[in-house]
Amino acid sequence: MPHPHLPHDHGQNMGHILEHLPQPASFQAVADLNRLLSDPSRTRIFWLLCHGEACVANLSAMVDMSSPAVSHHLKQLKAAGLVVSRREGKEVHYQAADTPTARALHHMMETLMTISCPTEE
């Protein structure tokens, strides 16, 4: 793909960087994941499920939310491929998906919490 003519040359070889610029759809996918995790309740639920399996009733108690609210968040996380479920009798158990995306998001969350969260003394 030909490089666009850049109006200013700042000596940073932006033409080389543009050769590796992902397609706009890639940035949209990243933006969609960020939007999904922009809700702190959904982020907490995802973080919990990265550390173990839980049913809606237990998740509701852990995050102090109603079961319908937790189910709503789980539906969105599942649609994004970040959470998987399995049925055991009448209960549905959820856990983080074992995918590169889910693992990367979990790692990012852990890293950002270490860097930016206040420490408890």
Asked if the structure places residue 10 within a domain, the reply is: no
> Which CATH number does the domain housing residue 96 bear?
1.10.10.10
Asked if the structure places residue 3 within a domain, the reply is: no
CB atoms within 10 A of CB 70: 24
Q: Where does the pLDDT of residue 17 fall: very low under 50, low under 70, confident under 90, or very high at 90 and above?
A: confident
Average pLDDT over the chain reads: 89
**What Cα–Cα distance (Å) separates residue 64 from each residue in 27, 67, 98, 106?**
34, 9, 26, 22
Please give the residue range of the domain that contains residue 108: 26-116
Residue 118, helix vs strand vs coil: coil
Asked if the structure places residue 2 within a domain, the reply is: no
**Whether the predicted pLDDT of 120 surpasses 70:** no
Determine how β-strand 91-96 pairs with β-strand 83-88: antiparallel
Asked if the structure places residue 106 within a domain, the reply is: yes
Helices H / strands E in the chain, number of each? 6, 3
Average confidence (pLDDT) over 41-63: 96
Asked if the structure places residue 37 within a domain, the reply is: yes
Q: Would you give the DSSP letter of residue 119? A: P
Number of domains in the chain: 1
Asked if the structure places residue 19 within a domain, the reply is: no
Residue 95, helix vs strand vs coil: strand
Q: Where does the pLDDT of residue 113 fall: very low under 50, low under 70, confident under 90, or very high at 90 and above?
A: confident
| pLDDT tens string 65-83 | 999 999 999 999 999 999 9
Nearest to 83 by CA among 110, 67, 113, 105: 105
